[in-house]
């Protein structure tokens, strides 16, 4: 069961920490606009 889903690419994770680590990939590659969207 993978209840945590990335809002940007729909990849699924079983742990929130895995999703948080994955989100770093989006913020590093797409710039500050993504950081703003994640914080909303």
| Percent of the chain whose predicted confidence (pLDDT) is above 70 | 65
CA-nearest of 39, 3, 1 to 19 is 3
CA-nearest of 9, 33, 5, 29 to 19 is 5
**Tens digit of each residue's pLDDT (9 = 90 or more) over 1-30:** 889 999 888 999 999 999 888 888 877 655
Put simply, whether the predicted model's pTM sits higher than 0.85 gets the answer: no
Q: How many domains does the chain have?
A: 1
* Model pLDDT, residue 28: 66
DSSP count for the chain of H helices, then E strands: 2, 2
List the domain range (segments joined by +) for residue 11: 4-39
**pLDDT-derived band of residue 40, with 50, 70 and 90 as boundaries?**
very low
**CA gyration radius, the chain:** 10
């Amino acid at each position: 069961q993978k209840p945590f889903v990335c809002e940007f690419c729909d990849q699924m994770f079983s742990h929130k920490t895995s999703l948080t680590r994955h989100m770093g990939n989006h913020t590093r590659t797409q710039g500050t606009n993504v950081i703003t969207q994640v914080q909303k």
